[in-house]
Chain A
Amino acid sequence: MTLPTSSAAALELTNICKSYGDVPIIHGIDLAIKPGSFVVFVGPSGCGKSTLLRMIAGLEPITSGDLVIDGQRMNEAPASRRGIAMVFQSYALYPHMDVYQNLSFGLETAKMRKAEIAERVSRAAKILKIEPLLRRKPRQLSGGQRQRVAIGRAIVREPRLFLFDEPLSNLDAELRVQMRVEISNLHRDLGTTMIYVTHDQVEAMTMADQIVVLNGGRVEQTGSPLDLYNYPRNLFVAAFIGSPRMNIFPTSALSEGIAGDFATTHSLGVRPEHLVAGPADVGLGSIAVEVVEHLGDVTILHGRLPNSHHGVTVTLSGQVEIKPGATLPIGVSRSNLHRFDRGGLRINDGAKL
């Protein structure tokens, strides 16, 4: 089942800034988004993801910089003329209209013919499996159904760009996974450019073609999920992407012998899943295990390095018999080490990038 593909938008942000009064919130964002891609904005709370999205939507004036959609500067264009549809975190369905009216409202506003409206609504309803709900009011729907209607309201307009602001954050875990897959499928079927805001990094990793990591109103790094995972450009991205988060050791916390190998390095990053028990390229010594978490498929250990007592997290695959209080020699293969300089930037050696 496919909708007639509406054209997908290319998006270009150049030095976009935003201030509320005198307070700068977004500090010069440059970003190029290819037509048809699925872009995810991630970042900690308050970093400006929603603000950026709302500037693209036209709900928030842009303080400075250029917003170019399909080659046209759109800074001043009203929201309705940008060809964008948005799905809000709170769904923002019209409470007094039934599902059909919620979907058709935008089309009626555009003065579309009744017959065509009916056709588009029924097509969207079919895709989202909300046909039996068309005569219900939003308050008679469950969270997941409301979410579908909100998405339906976006797709009937056949926009060239979809914006999603944390659309799944009000759903329970199971439904989130299901809707995540459905949104990904929708993207594949429609082929439209989508920008998706979340602070759930599993959503980011699984859905995105391109992830944009934001922090404090700046872009920390842009790239494919695996790029960010394998080659985080700085300590922030290294710690933000991946779960459990990457172990970051100042080289001073490591034993003499190892630290000597990394004279120019200020800190070392090792993902918990890359640490192995037993001998490896780089031995980190025997850790004192403090907490053991059995998740079934993996076992997560929280312990302390020898000497410096720096905290460390280790993810071992499978179910490992080990008790708190035990000691365990750990190490890591050299190719899985991330090195960072004094300023927190990645040091690339020959092997990587």
Chain B
Amino acid sequence: MSDQGITPPSWPVRTITHVLLIAASVVMLYPLLWMLSASVRPEAEIFDSGSLWPSAIVWDSFVAGWSGLRVSFGQFFLNSLVIAVISVIGNLMACSLAAFTFTRLDFPGRNFWFAMMLGTLMLPYHVTLIPQYVMFLNTGWVDTILPLVGPKFLAADAFFVFLMVQFFRGIPREIDEAAMMDGCSPWRIYWKIMLPLSLPVLATAAIFTFIWTWEDFFGPLIYLTSIGNYTVQLGLRSFIDASSQSSWGALFAMSVLSLLPLFLIFIIFQRMLVEGIATTGMKR
């Protein structure tokens, strides 16, 4: 049996494959590496040299970036973090409850509402943007984080509801039924049985929610107007000023910093993420 496995390619083929792959990744990584090097080289040199190697390493850009604006960049990080963490909590609670309702409870029009929810997946963000803005303007929520985090508590992210529905469907019904025989209410089944059994999908949803809210530029741009409320992404944009001189060094330095949380999260949760993705779509 083992002899019939795929025979490994000969060494010239292997070498060529590797060279091609390495070349491709260098091409793809070039912008990132360029940004990294731009953040630590003297500012005058940024657009003058195509080389990735800085002539000298200076940290001026980081200092200039962190406190170069009216508000410290630390404040932006804090704002972004608050929004991302609240969004994660909201999405986990609301989407899992919605998914539980769709998979385990019987109510009139269940299939209709499920189809409606899936329908919202097809709606581009930009279609609902203006009505939503008007709505939040009327409630007086503009220039607060509420328009950004509030909808998360109403399971507005249909994608995650769908992901969790898929996962919940893979949990055998008999486990719920056993819990029912044990006297559990639906709420207790959700809390004590479904959630603990759904850690992979919850982790996936948490990580993606964090990444997507952290990266979001459009939402904060629309709803946050005063600089004290800015997120990291809005802060970055503030370095580019049409009327006066843009501080590119600071921009790149802060861009590098803004990537760190994502990078850390990815490294820490990589295994859970992969497991989550593998167990949701294609269970069994």
Residues of A within 8 A of B (CB): 57-59, 78-80, 84-86, 88, 90, 92-96, 105-106, 109-110, 153, 157
Contacts and interface: CB of A to CB of B under 8 A. Distances in A.
Given A90-B172, A109-B188, A59 B180 contact: yes
Interface residues of B, number: 16
A106 B172 contact: no
Contact of B174 (A58, A78, A85, A92): A92
Interface string B180-200: 111110001000110011000
A84 B177 CA distance: 12
A29 B180 CA distance: 25
A80 B183 contact: yes
A78 B182 CA distance: 11
Contacts of A153: 178, 182
Contacts of A106: 181-183
27 contacts: A57-B181, A58-B180, A59-B181, A79-B180, A79-B181, A80-B181, A80-B184, A84-B181, A86-B177, A86-B178, A86-B181, A88-B174, A88-B177, A88-B178, A92-B177, A92-B178, A94-B175, A94-B178, A94-B179, A94-B193, A95-B175, A96-B197, A105-B179, A109-B183, A109-B184, A110-B183, A157-B182
Contacts, number: 52
Contacts of B188: 109
Contacts of A79: 177, 180-181
Interface string B212-236: 0000000000000000000000000
A96 B192 CA distance: 10
Contacts of B192: 105
Contacts of B182: 80, 105-106, 109, 153, 157
By Cβ-Cβ distance, the 6 closest A-B pairs, closest first, are A106-B182, A80-B183, A92-B174, A92-B178, A109-B183, A96-B196
Contacts of A86: 177-178, 181
A92 B180 contact: no
B198 to A, nearest CB: 10
Nearest to B183: A80
Nearest to B175: A92
Interface of B: 172, 174-175, 177-184, 188, 192-193, 196-197
Contacts of A94: 175, 178-179, 193
A93 to B, nearest CB: 8
A162 B240 CA distance: 73
A93 B183 CA distance: 15
A59 B184 contact: no
Contacts of A59: 177, 180-181
A94 B175 CA distance: 7
Nearest to B199: A96
A88 B172 CA distance: 12
A109 B180 CA distance: 10
Nearest to B197: A96
A86 B172 CA distance: 16
Given A80-B181, A80-B182, A153-B182, 19 more contacts: A88-B174, A88-B178, A90-B172, A90-B174, A92-B174, A92-B177, A92-B178, A93-B178, A94-B179, A95-B175, A95-B197, A96-B196, A96-B197, A105-B182, A106-B181, A106-B182, A106-B183, A109-B184, A157-B182
Given A95-B197, A96-B197, A109-B188, A85 B181 contact: yes
A57 B181 CA distance: 8
Contacts of A93: 178
Contacts of A109: 182-184, 188
B262 to A, nearest CB: 30
B118 to A, nearest CB: 25
A109 B172 CA distance: 21
Nearest to A106: B182
Nearest to B198: A96
A105 B193 CA distance: 10
B180 A80 contact: yes
A92 B182 CA distance: 12
A280 B31 CA distance: 100
Contacts of A110: 183
A278 B182 CA distance: 60
Contacts of B183: 80, 106, 109-110
Contacts of B193: 94
A171 B159 CA distance: 41
A112 B84 CA distance: 40
Nearest to B174: A92
Nearest to A157: B182
A100 to B, nearest CB: 14
Contacts of B175: 92, 94-95
A96 B182 CA distance: 16
Contacts of B196: 96
Contacts of A105: 179, 182, 192
Contacts of A80: 180-184
A173 to B, nearest CB: 24
A92 B172 contact: yes
Of B181, B183, B188, B192, the most chain A CB neighbours within 10 A belong to: B181
B197 to A, nearest CB: 6
A62 to B, nearest CB: 16
A78 B186 CA distance: 12
Contacts of B177: 59, 79, 86, 88, 92
Nearest to A110: B183
Nearest to A88: B174
